Each structure stands twice: as C-alpha cells, then as structure tokens.
Chains A and B, each alone.
Chain A
C-alpha cells in the first residue's frame, strides 16, 4: 500500500516537472480551462442559489390567486366573485388585489403599482421600493410624479422607502392607497386585478382551486405550488442565452482538448522511449500521462470553482449583470445567500476532470506500449 502511494507521489512529481518544462503552453492551457470552468460554475452556482431563494421567499405568496380570463387574456376580475368564493368550504379569506404596471417615460423604467392595505396617512402618500428610490433619486418626504390614464400628472409624497434588504421582492414597487390607484388607472368600480385566496389547510388547495374553476369557468386559479414551480424553470438550459453559453464553453473545451487528442510530438515520443528503456513499464508511463492531464484539469476545476464562488456570492454576479439586466432600466441589487448543490458540483468535477484526463491518456497509449529496446536501437 505504502509503495503504491510512493509510486504515485514519484510519478506525480515527475509529471509536474514535465508540465513545468513546457511552462508557457501548459500555463495558458490551464488559464483558458480555468476561465471556462469558472463561467460554467458561476452559472450553476447563480441559478441554484437564486432558485433556492425564490423557493424560500415565495412561500408566503398567496395560497391561490384567481384571475379572470377573456379570450385567453388576463382581464379584470369582478369583486362580486369574492363572496361566492369565500363561501366555499375550506376557504379562510378572499382579498381582492389591485395592481398593475406603470411605464415611466422619463426614465424608461417599468414599475409595479400596488394598492397597499398597510394604511397610508391619506391620499397622495406612497411607499416605494428601494429600486424606485434609486432610479428616481427619491428619499422620504420627496415627491413622486405619476401620470394618470388621462395624462394628468399627480404628485405623491413618499412616506417610506421599503428596506433595501427586501430588494429582491420589492425593488420596483410603488404602494398607494386603493382610492388613489383606482383614480389613477381609472379602474372600473367593482373590479380588481385578481383575488388572493387564503385556504385553511394547504392540502386542500388543489381541490378548492378545482371548485373555483368549476364555479367560474372563465377564471384561472393559480396555486402557490405553481407559482413556486415557475421559478424552478428559470435559467433552464434550453433557454436561448443558456444554450449559447453552454455551447460556447463546450466548443472552447473541444478546441483545446483537440490539441491533446491528436497525438504526441516526436520529442514526447522519444522521452517515453527513454523512460521505458530505463525501467518504466507501460503502466508507469500511462500513470504519468494520467497525472499530467489530471493535474491541469484538477487545478482548473479548483481555481475555476473558487473564482466562480467569489464572483457569484461576493461580487453579486456582477459579470452576469449586463446579460440579466437586458433592457430593464431598474435592476434589483441583492446578495445571494451562498449555497452550493453538492450534486451539481460533483457533476461539474466529473465533466471537468475526466474527459480532459482521458484525452491526455488515450493518444499516449500507442507510444507507451513501445518496446523497451527501441531506445537501444535509435
């Protein structure tokens, strides 16, 4: 056992010295590989952590959200539905939600306007999310102009800015009183955007949703579980941007692994011949090649994942920001809670180390099986 460990150690020592002999080539190989690994790892870490955040934060979302559909499109729901739904057994409460989008032409940003049931001190007051405060440079006491549907601007005084720590959920919110919202958007009386239904027993949610759908065929109940599931499928690898990134990474890897896979140079062949003539067996030579490939890919994996971890969890994925922000003007600032899925990490490790190591060993096979006496004859 001990001899085996020592043998590995000796061969590894020589493998490293071999790599250092061609320092320029191997260092640049390692750097490129590290960058590729760090890109993929960053994507993996970011999406996993974000999905986990979504799953935890949105647990408090409504049990069932009831929308009304007209010709397949989301339409306003009559408030009259509230009583009938509340009468269904198992339903604890039904609350109409009033919310919509507001496009601010001056900044090009989209905000979400919502009627708040946190009582505001009176008409003309608003609570805003910290993203809104940042975009419009507002603090408490400042005035926020909003254009009504008829074009008239109304000023709202900012009572409170929602905590910065809640940016991920509330960055673009503007909370007004119900009366103000209805007046602004000219909301027809007796209608709301949708209904938030609270159910006593979570296990009954699907049955109650089915009952609602049965009673109101034009309604679309959305379950809490469906809301959470939406976030399970963001950053799906089949999405356009992800496919491109993955494709680029795979292509880059193939290109430089190709260099390895196309065989050994004459110099390397000669060296193997000498090794065999001084007593190295085929197995020892292959072990050498294994360690050469493994050393680079292991180093690339370690450095790549550490870089990715730092980038995603300490630098808030700032490199991804341009891609994630897209055309949004308002982009939330948040720090993700560091969380790594060990399974994903294991898969990444496997994909990083194994193909590259194999690509290093296989072409050496032929050369490694050369007869030891070949060096005598050359």
Chain B
C-alpha cells in the first residue's frame, strides 16, 4: 500500500496525503497559506472538524 502511494507521489510530484477533503487547507495543509483558514473573515472560528486535527504548518509560525 505504501509502495503504490510513493510511486504516485513521485510520478505526479504530489505534496500532501489525501486525508481530509473538507476544505482546501485541510486537503493540502502543507500548501496552505495564512489566509485559507480565515477565508471567511479574519475572526472566523474553525468550522471544519478536521481543522482541529490539522494545525497550521509550523513554518507559518517560525518564519519572520
């Protein structure tokens, strides 16, 4: 199972696992930008259940 997934990732240069297909930033968390999670408005509370499982990519917080 793992092997087949690796082949697909390699061939199509994919960047994320297809785990949570609810929203853009949950489907591709590593590609998400600061904006996506607050797409409705800046004070938007998390409304996707999987958003509570996927935290913002760490480099978002570290990079100046």
Contact = CB atoms under 8 A, between A and B. Distances in A.
Interface of A: 50, 53-54, 56-62, 65, 67, 69, 72-74, 95, 97, 101, 109-112, 114, 116, 118, 129, 131, 162-163, 165-173, 175, 194, 196, 220, 222, 226-227, 229-236, 238-242, 323-324, 326-332, 334-335, 337
Given A62-B15, A168-B17, A334 B53 contact: no
B18 A95 contact: no
Interface residues of B, number: 45
B58 A172 contact: no
Interface of B: 1-24, 26-31, 33-36, 46, 48-50, 52-55, 57-59
B55 A109 contact: no
B27 to A, nearest CB: 7
A326 B48 contact: yes
B11 A97 contact: no
Contacts of A56: 2, 6
B35 A73 contact: yes
Contact of B8 (A54, A74, A166): A166
The CB with the most chain A CB atoms within 10 A, among B8, B14, B26, is that of B14
B7 to A, nearest CB: 7
A239 B49 contact: no
A161 B12 CA distance: 15
A169 B14 contact: yes
Contact of B30 (A69, A74, A230, A235): A230
The CB with the most chain B CB atoms within 10 A, among A165, A166, A327, A335, is that of A166
B17 to A, nearest CB: 5
Contacts of A62: 13, 15
A61 B9 contact: yes
5 contacts: A114-B12, A131-B18, A163-B4, A165-B5, A222-B30
B27 A230 contact: no
Contact of A239 (B11, B53, B58): B53
Contacts of B48: 326-327
A328 B20 contact: yes
Contact of B35 (A72, A236, A324, A332): A72
Given A61-B13, A72-B33, A241-B49, A170 B18 contact: yes
Nearest to B33: A74
A370 to B, nearest CB: 52
Given A168-B17, A222-B31, A234 B1 contact: no
